[in-house]
């Protein structure tokens, strides 16, 4: 079995770590908040004090962190994973990041003599916990093949999209559509609640009709019950839309719907909802209606 290091034990990373342990991989973990790493150590992982130390112990190093800044901190510098990775180590970045940073990281990995794969995922906390993520891989096919058993232990499928940057681009397109859907659902929910319609009947019609995507069905339930336990943090959707809008502009495509949705999430985050589930994006509409 290949030895694996996983950096980042948030809502996604913790579930991924447990799937790796269940599959029997020798797992080293690192998290900025040490207590989360210690919790995984109690389940069989080895907790380390820095990304560098984690990488020194592994043949494969995976990162699942919040954004470009967190990824840069995990990989770069004297205590970063690149400083500890041996030549030939496979480095996998599974976070949702900007395409530009992913390509920069790939070049840094190559200069270190390491193989690099980007593999962001679709799915949220329930899929990470159950091992049903979808990996969107970008990089060399041979590199992907060398780590398939590791990724398979955490996923329902692995899609190879092409060279480095392909996975990040696809993930941003995916989350752009998800973010716009959830923001528009918040507005629809506000209209339903303020118009006197029977909310349960209205949501049943939407959920089982043309708009009834899995996201609409799941998020509408959480909006209706005000269940904002985090599957996907609202502030992370704002970050993803920021990257998506910038990537669209880089290709000459202004994402007007993305810009509008981004403003909705930023307003919700400014109202103190950033660390709650993205379903909480409906609450500012409710507060305005109550005034």
Active-site annotation, residues? 171
How far, in Å, CA of 5 to CA of 20, rounded? 10
The radius of gyration computed from the CA coordinates of the chain, to the nearest angstrom, equals: 20
**Going by C-beta distance under 8 Å and a sequence separation of 6 or more, which residues neighbour residue 142?**
none
Closest by Cα among 237, 236, 258 to 248 = 258
Specify the 3-state DSSP secondary structure of 48. coil
How far, in Å, CA of 40 to CA of 232, rounded? 21
Give the DSSP letter string of 96-116.
---HHHHHHHHHHHHHTT-EE
**Going by C-beta distance under 8 Å and a sequence separation of 6 or more, which residues neighbour residue 94?**
16, 62, 63, 64, 118, 119, 120, 121, 135
What is Dmax (Cα atoms) for the chain?
Answer: 64
Q: Positive or negative, the Cα torsion across 110, 114, 118, 120? A: negative
Closest by Cα among 17, 14, 27 to 54 = 27
């Amino acid at each position: 079995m290949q030895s694996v290091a996983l950096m980042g034990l948030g809502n996604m990373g913790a579930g991924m770590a447990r799937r790796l342990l269940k599959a029997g991989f020798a797992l080293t973990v690192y998290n900025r908040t040490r207590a989360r790493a210690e919790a995984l150590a109690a389940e069989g992982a080895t907790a380390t004090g820095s990304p560098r130390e984690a990488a020194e112990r592994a043949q494969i190093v995976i990162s699942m962190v919040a954004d470009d800044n967190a990824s840069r901190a995990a990989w770069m510098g004297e205590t970063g994973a690149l400083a500890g990775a041996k030549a030939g180590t496979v480095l996998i970045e599974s976070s949702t990041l900007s395409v530009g940073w992913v390509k920069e990281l790939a070049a840094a990995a190559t200069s270190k003599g390491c193989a690099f794969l980007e593999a962001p995922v679709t799915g949220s906390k329930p899929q990470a916990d159950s091992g049903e993520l979808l990996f969107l891989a970008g990089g060399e096919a041979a590199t992907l093949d060398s780590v398939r058993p590791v990724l398979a232990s955490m996923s329902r499928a692995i899609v190879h999209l092409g060279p480095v940057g392909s996975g990040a681009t696809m993930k941003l397109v995916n989350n752009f559509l998800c973010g716009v859907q959830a923001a528009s659902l918040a507005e629809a929910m506000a209209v339903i609640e303020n118009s006197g319609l029977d909310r349960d009947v209205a949501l049943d019609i939407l959920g089982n009709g043309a708009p009834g995507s899995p996201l609409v069905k799941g998020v509408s339930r959480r909006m209706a019950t005000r269940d904002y336990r985090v599957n996907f943090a609202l502030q992370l959707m704002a970050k993803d839309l920021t990257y998506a809008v910038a990537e669209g502009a880089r290709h000459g495509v202004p994402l007007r719907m993305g810009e509008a949705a981004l403003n909705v999430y930023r307003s919700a985050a400014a109202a103190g909802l950033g660390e709650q589930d993205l379903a909480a994006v409906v609450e500012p509409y409710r507060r305005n209606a109550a005034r």
